[in-house]
Amino acid sequence: MSWSKLKRSTELEDLPNIGKSIAADLRRLGLRSPAQLARRAPLNLYRALSSVMGSRQDPCVLYTLLAAQHFLKRGESLPWWHFTAAGRKLLAAR
């Protein structure tokens, strides 16, 4: 699927790095579309997921959210592990 089609996508699962499980978790937060995901801060979503799920989420979830947001803003699909350093920095700053 091309980036222009993905930008118009209505399914979270169409985004790189977002599978069925993370998409389902995001829906528990009320997010239904990539456009809604693009407007939310990844760290805030990560914290909200921890609260909704009742336990701290694996940091890889944050890295995945950073990767998805990077794609939505820049159109560049990178694996979630490319965002490990940025995610660790965000977690350390809190």
CATH number for 13? 1.10.150
Residue 20 burial by Cβ neighbours in a 10 Å radius (0-12, 13-18, 19+): exposed
Could you give the CA distance from residue 63 to residue 50 in angstroms, rounded to a whole number? Answer: 14
pLDDT of residue 1: 47
Domain count, the chain: 1
Which residue range forms the structural domain that includes residue 74? Answer: 3-93
Tokens coding 89: 């920095």
- pLDDT (0 to 100) of residue 7: 55
CA distances from 26 to 32, 69, 85, 89, 93 (A): 8, 13, 23, 23, 24
Could you tell me if 12 and 37 are in contact, meaning their C-beta atoms sit under 8 angstroms apart? yes
Share of the chain above pLDDT 70, in %: 89
Q: What is the pLDDT of residues 33-78, one digit of tens each?
A: 999 999 999 999 999 999 998 899 999 999 999 999 999 999 999 9
Non-local (6+) Cβ contacts of 86 within 8 A are: 63, 66
